[in-house]
Chains A and B, each alone.
Chain A
Amino acid sequence: MKPPVIYGAAPFLVPAVLLAVWFLLTAGTKPAVNPLFLPPPATVLAGFGELWRDDLAGDFAASAITVLRGYICGVLVGLTTGAACGLSRLTERVLTPTLNTFRQVPGLAWLPLMILWFGAGTGGKTVLIGLAVFFPVFLNTLQGIRGVPAEYIEVGRVFGFGKLELLLRVVAPAALPGVFVGLRYGAGIAWAVLVVAEMLGARRGLGFLLMRSQELMHTHHLFALIFIIGGVGFSIDFGLRRLERHLLRWKRGFEG
């Protein structure tokens, strides 16, 4: 049952084709597409270097720290609120109508208010990302806990587990697959919200660099930045997926 070579190469097929088309469209002294719209790969590669010398690392760090801080805040509040609602119908009844109303507001709609309250620095963006991350984590934690089979709870009770032991040894692990859906989804949102928020108002960060590159007509920088942003988003999801695969390795089908 060894997969054929084509299976291993499959993920690289589309990028290879895209790269080839890119080379073709931008080759020669009179390329098919104006370099202002589509700079050749070599120029974009040089753009990485220029950005790097212009303290790309500093901007990257600014973005990373903001997104991490916002994500952690959103996850912590989402987990605790979701757990509280999942474990208590009363708490759910108290909180969910309000939360469901706020949930209808797109994350970025809060941006002007956040800038007004917390300024255009990292504070407002942290809150904004936290808000955007909160909802998927909250909802999936709540549903994860509600989905814990009563049969497992009974097993815990048969072995004399108290409330806390039931929570830690039965409810939490049984709800983990659901929680992870929220964690991964929230991570994707966090990165997207951050970049857009930085584009709309920031003095540092990858989103800020995007806007500045546009103003300076540095298209090759735009491309370099898009690669970086996409790469980071991909890495975050990849890392979380690896973590999920490890933590949920007891589930059948992961190897398949």
Chain B
Amino acid sequence: MSHLETTAGTAATADTSGTGNAAAITIRGLSKTFRDTRAGGTTGGEVRALDAVSLDIAAGAFVAIVGASGCGKTTLLRAIAGLETAHEGTVALDGEPVRAPGPDRGVVFQDHRLLPWLSVADNTALGLSALPAAERDERVRRALALVGLTDFAGAWPAQLSGGMAQRAAIARALAARPRALLLDEPLGALDAITRLRMQTELERIWRVEKITMVMVTHDVEEALLLGDTVVVMTPRPGRIKREHRIQLARPRDRESPVFQDLRRTLLVELELETPPPAVAGDYAI
């Protein structure tokens, strides 16, 4: 909590700069083909993971990406992170082409990727080696408090549940204070209740830190709850089907008819639900 208050203070003084410290991300004509190295080669040997993907992410925006598994969401995030560099097209951060990973971008991987030989606290401090010890400890403390893992600072990753490990991974990324946070299905491993709490937390972190957030999720509701923009992707080849600007006021009400309507629209686009009959006012009961 104190993390939020302090950063809120700093952010308030810098509020005149509008988006504060956030980074804008520009993606142009991004294509990526994986050669299928597996034996047999039944897929014809090539997978078009991304096909001519272009996307503008404003500084400080919250972009949620939804799509069936295998439609290139992870590949897209990895390209922004600078981990996937052999591709066509460009990814730029504030106009600077991305060539490698950097401290300006934090990544929460789909698998938590905590280093098993480091305690939760040491994992959280992974990106903080340049800081003086006292400041480092303070940042770790706050990041762990934020995700509710204060009591597990000294635990080994092997001792955590899947959901706790994922929260630790979020703390680790946040502690380094990136200008853009890239999250790959960060709440997928969480139980329903923790998930709801973490969704609220993520929104607060985003509001307070004023950083850009790009979150991949398979949960349409989650995308609608958090995203300014919801990007719908389709597989084979991996393409952006549509971008929805979500104008609903925050915090968003899942039960509201507009929310439910948007949810249905997205599910139809994802081909998870057949289109409802177009009856006007069917939710105005």
Q: Which stretch from A113-121, A168-176, A213-221, A238-246 is at the chain B interface?
A: A168-176
> B248 interface residue, CB < 8 Å from A?
no
What number of A residues sit within 8 Å (CB to CB) of B? 18
Q: Are A152 and B113 in contact (CB under 8 A)?
A: yes
Q: Given the complex of chains A and B, what is the CA–CA distance between A176 and B113 in angstroms?
A: 18
Q: Are B113 and A160 in contact (CB under 8 A)?
A: no
Which of A154, A165, A249 has the most chain B CB atoms closer than 10 A to its own CB? Answer: A154
Given the complex, which residues of B lie within 8 Å of A165, measured CB to CB? Answer: 129
Given the complex, which residues of A lie within 8 Å of B116, measured CB to CB? Answer: 250-251
Q: Are B127 and A160 in contact (CB under 8 A)?
A: yes
> A151 interface residue, CB < 8 Å from B?
yes
Given the complex, which residues of B lie within 8 Å of A53, measured CB to CB? Answer: none
Given the complex, which residues of A lie within 8 Å of B127, measured CB to CB? Answer: 158-160
Q: Are A151 and B113 in contact (CB under 8 A)?
A: yes
Given the complex, which residues of A lie within 8 Å of B126, measured CB to CB? Answer: 155, 159
Interface size class of B (residues with CB under 8 A): 20 to 34
Q: Given the complex of chains A and B, what is the CA–CA distance between A153 and B194 in angstroms?
A: 29
Q: Are B117 and A159 in contact (CB under 8 A)?
A: no
Min distance, Cβ A180 to any Cβ of chain B, angstroms: 12
> A203 interface residue, CB < 8 Å from B?
no
Of chain A, the residue at the smallest CB distance from B158 is: A252
0 or 1 for each of B149-170: is its CB under 8 Å from A? (1 = yes) = 0000000111100000000000
Interface of A is mostly: helix
> B275 interface residue, CB < 8 Å from A?
no
- Quick one: given A251-B158, A252-B158, are A157 and B117 in contact (CB under 8 Å)? no
Q: Given the complex of chains A and B, what is the CA–CA distance between A154 and B83 in angstroms?
A: 7
0 or 1 for each of A134-161: is its CB under 8 Å from B? (1 = yes) = 0000000000000000011011011110
Given the complex, which residues of A lie within 8 Å of B101, measured CB to CB? Answer: 154, 157-158, 160
Q: Are A152 and B83 in contact (CB under 8 A)?
A: no
Of chain B, the residue at the smallest CB distance from A151 is: B113
Q: Given the complex of chains A and B, what is the CA–CA distance between A155 and B168 in angstroms?
A: 14
Min distance, Cβ A254 to any Cβ of chain B, angstroms: 10
Given the complex, which residues of A lie within 8 Å of B106, measured CB to CB? Answer: 158
Of chain A, the residue at the smallest CB distance from B102 is: A160
Q: Given the complex of chains A and B, what is the CA–CA distance between A229 and B171 in angstroms?
A: 52
Q: Are B158 and A157 in contact (CB under 8 A)?
A: no
- Quick one: given A154-B83, A250-B156, A251-B158, are A160 and B115 in contact (CB under 8 Å)? no
> B62 interface residue, CB < 8 Å from A?
no
- Quick one: given A151-B109, A158-B81, A158-B83, are A176 and B158 in contact (CB under 8 Å)? no
- Quick one: given A160-B101, A160-B102, A160-B103, are A155 and B113 in contact (CB under 8 Å)? yes
- Quick one: given A158-B107, A159-B176, are A174 and B117 in contact (CB under 8 Å)? yes
Given the complex, which residues of A lie within 8 Å of B117, measured CB to CB? Answer: 173-174, 176, 248, 250
Q: Given the complex of chains A and B, what is the CA–CA distance between A170 and B103 in angstroms?
A: 17
> B100 interface residue, CB < 8 Å from A?
yes
Q: Given the complex of chains A and B, what is the CA–CA distance between A248 and B127 in angstroms?
A: 23
Q: Are A152 and B103 in contact (CB under 8 A)?
A: no
> B96 interface residue, CB < 8 Å from A?
no
Q: Given the complex of chains A and B, what is the CA–CA distance between A151 and B157 in angstroms?
A: 15
Which B residues lie at the A interface, using CB under 8 A? 81, 83, 100-103, 105-107, 109, 111, 113, 115-118, 126-127, 129, 156-159, 176
Closest 3 CB pairs of A and B: A159-B127, A252-B158, A173-B117
- Provide 5 A-B residue pairs closer than 8 Å at the C-beta atoms, listed in order of the A residue: A155-B115, A248-B117, A251-B116, A251-B158, A252-B156
